[in-house]
Amino acid sequence: MPRLRDVAAQARIGAAAGTSGRTQGHEVMKRQIIAIGGGALPMGQDNNLLLVDYFLKQTRKRRPRVCFIGTAHGDAESGRLRFYSSFGQFECRPTHLPLFARTPRNLESFVLEQDALFVGGGNTRSMLAVWRDWGLVAHLHKAWQQGIVLGGWSAGSICWFEQGITDSIAGPLTTLDCLGFLPGSNCPHYDSEPQRRPVYRRMIARGRVADGLAADDGVALHFIGGRLARVVSARRQARGWQLVRRGDRAVERALPTRYLGAG
């Protein structure tokens, strides 16, 4: 099984090529990752599913096959039910990949028959360890190369980058080396968790983490061919952010963000 670093190197080489994979007619499907800051599957009275609708549309299929991967929450039933409840409101064929119950025998075939893979939030460090043990990382990389849309929120956002800001360990936020499909670092929940913004800025300024991107809850960073193509939001005032190190400080810039709702 390829190590994470090997897969990351392959991803960076592939990203430079821009497109690859499955064809529809004469069209070559592009590599896509949609990294969401948080709030992708709202609970309670807030039935804002604009990001779910956007995610599904990127498959360009009338009834896409979309698979939920809830490893970061230990395949908790609550996350799975939220997924089916939300995605079930659209024309799609939802399923899920269990890694703590009976897992499909041919994991690669199961992954590659999907049109999109949607990763839930939770403990990113534990999620990556389980993925590595099952050999799932190589299958996800192959899916990405073949034009299957990848994405998710929180843990399902930072996992695709070289580094992420995580609360996987109790106490202060820490950095985590991730898959490296996308360059740089990532921080989710930028406006909803008070410590995210100051900690990420401090880590950038001190060079503890690479320059990167942050996303407020309800915001999706849409990468095509390994590059950020657009930022979209299910909330009017929410934004995506770029952070770069300049000397001994972090410079933060709000990214143009398109609101997906009406008006």
Per-run averaged pLDDT (10 residues), the chain, 263 residues: 38 38 51 94 70 97 98 95 95 97 95 98 97 98 98 97 95 95 97 95 96 97 97 96 97 97 79
Which of 73, 139, 141, 189 is catalytic? The answer is 189
The pLDDT assigned to 220 comes to 98
Which of 86, 154, 168, 233 is catalytic? The answer is 154
Which residues, other chains included, contact 199 with Cβ-Cβ below 8 Å and sequence gap of 6+?
Answer: 165, 172, 173
Q: How many CB atoms lie within 10 A of CB 136?
A: 23
Q: Is 73 a catalytic residue?
A: no
The pLDDT assigned to 42 comes to 72
Q: Is 189 a catalytic residue?
A: yes
CB 188 within 8 A of CB 36: yes
Q: How far is CA 48 from CA 38, 40, 207, 229, in A?
A: 12, 8, 37, 23
Sheet-wide strand order for 258-259: 93-96, 65-69, 116-119, 149-153, 32-36, 219-224, 227-233, 258-259
β-sheet bridge partners, residue 114: none
Instruction: Tell me the pairing of strands 27-30 and 19-24.
Output: antiparallel
